[in-house]
Amino acid sequence: MNTNTNDKFNAKTQMGEGACTVFLSGELDLSVAPDFRLVMEPLVSNPEIDLIVNMKDMTYIDSTGIGILLSLLKARHGMDARFAVEEVPPQIQKLFDMTGIAKFFASQEKSQ
């Protein structure tokens, strides 16, 4: 398990059979976006693995974080590779619903 730790944001990767789950905790915003991109960059380009982002321990996400998730979704979709977001906390799910992006993550998770 690889870990990228910051005072307010943490990303841990866990490889499983044919999948990599990235467990996020804390706040994903502009100030930690480079850290998140560093973790995700080598994973997103491998179409052989399913890429899953677990948000169970997230407390906050801003438009920068949402933008990164959407760019990951787009990149994975272009490779016909699975990308899923799971265990979204209610306060973040509400934001996803309000911005209209929830349907993209939900359909991607169910479709493959």
Structure confidence by residue, pLDDT tens digits, 72-97 = 999 999 999 999 999 999 999 999 99
Residue 104: band (very low, low, confident or very high) from pLDDT cuts 50, 70, 90? confident
Domains of the chain: 2-111 (3.30.750.24)
Confidence (pTM) = 0.87
Angle between helices 90-99 and 102-111 (to 10 degrees): 110
CB of 22 within 8 A of CB of 28? no
